[in-house]
Amino acid sequence: MKESLTFDFCDMTIFDSYVIVVMKEGVDIKPKHNDVLVEITNTYFSDKPFVYITHRVNSYSVDPKVYHETSKIKNLKGFAVVSSNYQAKFNAQIEQMFFKEPFEIFTKLEDAIDWAKKLVKDN
């Protein structure tokens, strides 16, 4: 499965066991944005485990409360941040403290995808 979805705050590409999200430049991600993720989860992953991959090619901010809400999604098995930007990686390390499931930071998207596939397979 591969489907692309566009929202006012992000672009999502849905795969069988993971979703890749690219946030739009300058967006301030709040817990209300989780409503979209929950809807995507219910629509595409219902009872299937999946991993959320954020490909940070743009600059944006994330309210740490988002991770508390995101961690409530029962079939979400992990969260990956992909960026080659030092600041984005540093921010991800802080965000990592707010998320209960496996959370990894990668420089290459391919590495995050490999990790996601393995994580879902192992669950």
Q: What is the pTM of this model?
A: 0.91
CATH number (domain holding residue 108): 3.30.750.24
The predicted structure's pLDDT at residue 76: 92
Q: Which domain holds residue 118?
A: 3-122
Task: Judge contact between 104 and 87, C-beta under 8 A.
Answer: no
Domain count for the chain? 1
Contacts of 78 (CB under 8 A, 6+ apart): 51, 52, 101, 102, 103, 104, 115, 116, 119
Mean pLDDT of 89-98: 81
Q: How many CB atoms lie within 10 A of CB 113?
A: 19
Rounded Cα distance between 121 and 95, Å, is 25
The alpha-helical segments, DSSP class H, found in 3-73 are: 34-40, 65-70
The predicted structure's pLDDT at residue 1: 66
- Which tens digit of pLDDT belongs to each residue from 25-66? 999 999 888 888 888 888 999 889 999 999 999 988 888 788
Mean pLDDT of 72-77: 89
